[in-house]
Amino acid sequence: MSAKRRQAGPASAAGLISYYEELDSAIKLSPASVFIIAAAFSLLIILAHLLF
């Protein structure tokens, strides 16, 4: 084992992995913006269906 290796917690020793380091760089959207994006995408699909 390498001396540079971090000490693992009890959860990672049991095969469970924590991804808290990866969550810091994730894109954060509010629930309202997710709803608006979903509604706009749905309208786009409906319009495409009606026009084509």
In a structure prediction context, what are the per-residue pLDDT tens digits for the chain, which is 52 residues long?
455 555 555 555 566 766 666 666 778 899 999 999 999 999 999 999 999 9
Domain ranges of the chain: 28-52
User: What's residue 7's pLDDT?
Assistant: 57
User: What does the angle CA 21 – CA 18 – CA 26 come to, to the nearest 5 degrees?
Assistant: 40
User: Tokens for 12?
Assistant: 């990672």
SS3 18: coil
| pLDDT value of residue 47 | 97
Q: According to the model, what pLDDT value does residue 46 have?
A: 97
